[in-house]
């Protein structure tokens, strides 16, 4: 039986390098499988999703991933059309979804929401974004993208730029990178540095420098991971306006980077990567989103089937 069978996915901190590599191997297998064989993996299983915050990629990629392994999905993508509006609690909503589905995907604005749901649910829970805390399946997809596009993760120089305070993908990525031997540069406005409560934990496993200056690092990076300033998480709009547009990656910056460097972004993008970067060979953010479909299919197959896609 595979070790992910019937297990929740709440935090990437729960996985070591060997477990991440197992997920990547399973993803490779999923990508190579004939579509008709892939559809046998989770035939008859149901994925339930509960999205208390907006999503395009995460929800649709889980939907698409579930269909690709032969299952079906149902759920709530707009909470304003659910009984939450009548006052139903998260706990009761989770209990209901565990009756209707075999595995549950939850996105919620509160830190700790997925762990709370996992305690209540009779079915495995996958964290699809919990407050500013974590987005573990995004980090799995990000690490897989780096591995596929750079052929390795160890030894790389990785810049992460933008909103490092509120961007939950950043925390999951940093915890995941802590399993590898990488040189990380955290580039942000002073007010958007990673949160001090997380710095200590990240530092235990990862070497990084913090800076506001992207220019001095450009020529040396293998990967530039760009993030959106998370306007919706600022308690004060004035503070958002001070940092809006702090970094815009354009062709001018790209020219100063290594020829084989890659640009990643969890998306959605607002204005932090200029549209004309999209057509360069370095732009891998849409490919990264595509890999998310396969990493999620691999995770679903391992959670729902004893053998997974092994
Ligand atoms: N990367 C990501 O989580 O995108 P969505 O918010 O569209 O799901």
Q: What average pLDDT does the segment 304-309 reach?
A: 88
Q: Ligand 1 centroid to 133 CA: how many Å?
A: 14
185 is catalytic: no
Q: Look at residue 60 and tell me whether its pLDDT is greater than 80.
A: yes
Do the domain assignments include residue 46?
yes
Percent of the chain exceeding pLDDT 70 equals: 100
Beta strands 207-211 and 183-187, pairing class: parallel
The question of whether 135 is a catalytic residue gets the answer yes
The residue whose CB lies within 8 Å of the most ligand 1 atoms, and thus the one to mutate among 49, 50, 51, 55, is 55
| pLDDT tens per residue across span 211-242 | 999 999 999 999 999 999 999 999 999 999 99
235 and 212 inside one domain:
yes
Q: Give me the pLDDT at residue 84, please.
A: 96
**How confident is residue 30, by pLDDT bands cut at 50, 70 and 90?**
very high
The residue segments making up the domain with residue 181 are 136-289
- Is ligand 1 within 6 A of the CB of residue 155? no
The average confidence (pLDDT) of the chain is 96
18 located within any domain: yes
- The pLDDT tens digits for 68-96 are 999 999 999 999 999 999 999 999 999 99
My answer on whether 140 and 283 are in the same domain is yes
Residue 230 Cβ inside 6 Å of ligand 1? The answer reads no
For residues 96 and 208, membership in a common domain is answered with no
123 & 157 share domain: no
Q: Is the CB of 265 under 6 A from ligand 1?
A: no
User: Does ligand 1 lie within 6 Å of residue 172's CB atom?
Assistant: no
- In three-state secondary structure terms, 229 is coil
- pLDDT confidence of 270, banded at 50, 70, 90? very high
Q: Are residues 98 and 154 in the same domain?
A: no
Looking at the structure, tell me whether residues 160 and 265 fall in a common domain. Answer: yes
137 pocket-lining for ligand 1 (C-beta < 6 Å): no
pLDDT band at 307 (very low <50, low <70, confident <90, very high): confident
pLDDT of residue 309: 78
Q: Which whole number is the average pLDDT over 136-149?
A: 98
Same-domain check for residues 153 and 117: no
Mean pLDDT of 265-282: 97
Spatial CA neighbour of 309 closest among 18, 39, 58: 39
pLDDT per position as a tens digit, 172-226: 999 999 999 999 999 999 999 999 989 999 999 999 999 999 999 999 999 999 9
165 is a catalytic site residue:
no
Query: What's the gap in Å between 169 CA and the centre of ligand 1?
Result: 9
pTM: predicted TM-score of the whole model, two decimal places = 0.96
Whole-number Å distance between alpha carbons of 79 and 1: 36
Long-range interactions of 264-268: CB distance < 8 A, separation 24+:
264/142, 264/145, 264/146, 264/223, 264/224, 264/225, 264/226, 264/288, 265/225, 265/226, 265/227, 265/228, 266/135, 266/138, 266/142, 266/167, 266/169, 266/227, 267/56, 267/57, 268/56, 268/57, 268/228
φ/ψ region of 164 (left if φ > 0, alpha if ψ in -120 to 50, else beta) reads: alpha
Residue minimizing CA distance to atom 4 of ligand 1: 57
Report yes or no on 115 lying in a domain. Answer: yes
Is the pLDDT score of 28 beyond 90? yes
Q: Known catalytic residue: 168?
A: no
Residues 168 and 85 in one domain: no
Cis omega (within 30 of 0) for bond into 84: no
Where residue 159 falls among pLDDT bands split at 50, 70, 90? very high
Q: Atom 1 of ligand 1 has which residue's CA nearest to it?
A: 266
Same domain, yes or no, for 110 and 142?
A: no
Say how many domains are in the chain.
Answer: 2
Question: Are both 16 and 45 inside the same structural domain?
Answer: yes
Specify the residue for token string 């996958």. 126
User: Could you tell me the CATH number of the domain that includes residue 247?
Assistant: 3.40.50.1370
| Ligand 1 contacts CB of residue 109 (under 6 A) | no
User: 55 CB less than 6 Å from ligand 1?
Assistant: yes
| Closest residue by Cα to residue 161 from 193, 204, 114 | 193
């Amino acid at each position: 039986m595979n070790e992910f069978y019937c297990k929740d996915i709440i935090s990437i901190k729960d996985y070591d390098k060997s477990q991440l590599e197992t997920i990547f191997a399973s993803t490779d297998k999923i990508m190579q499988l004939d579509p008709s064989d892939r559809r046998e993996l989770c035939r008859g299983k149901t994925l339930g999703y509960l999205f208390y915050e907006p999503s395009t990629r995460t929800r649709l990629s889980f939907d698409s991933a579930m269909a690709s392994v032969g299952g079906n999905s149902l759920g709530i993508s707009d909470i304003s059309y659910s009984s939450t509006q009548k006052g139903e609690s998260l706990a009761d909503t989770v209990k209901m979804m565990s009756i209707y589905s075999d595995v549950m995907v939850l996105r919620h604005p509160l830190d700790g929401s997925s762990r709370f749901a996992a305690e209540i649910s009779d079915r495995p829970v996958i964290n699809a974004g919990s407050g500013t805390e974590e987005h573990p399946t995004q980090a799995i997809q990000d690490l897989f993208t780096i591995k596929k596009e750079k052929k390795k993760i160890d030894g790389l120089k990785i810049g992460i730029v933008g909103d490092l305070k509120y961007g939950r993908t950043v925390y999951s990525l940093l915890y995941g990178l802590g399993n590898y031997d990488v040189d990380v540069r955290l580039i942000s406005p002073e007010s958007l540095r990673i949160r001090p409560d997380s710095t200590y934990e990240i530092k235990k496993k990862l070497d990084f420098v913090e800076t506001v200056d992207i220019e001095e690092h450009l020529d040396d990076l293998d990967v530039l991971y760009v993030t959106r300033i998370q306007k919706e998480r600022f308690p004060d709009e004035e503070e958002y306006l001070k940092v809006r547009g702090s970094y815009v990656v354009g062709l001018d910056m790209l020219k100063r980077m290594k020829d084989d460097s890659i640009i990643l972004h969890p998306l959605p993008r607002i204005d932090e990567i200029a549209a004309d970067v999209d057509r360069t060979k370095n732009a891998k953010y849409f490919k990264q989103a595509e890999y998310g479909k396969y990493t999620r299919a691999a995770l679903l197959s391992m959670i729902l089937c004893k053998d997974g896609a092994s």
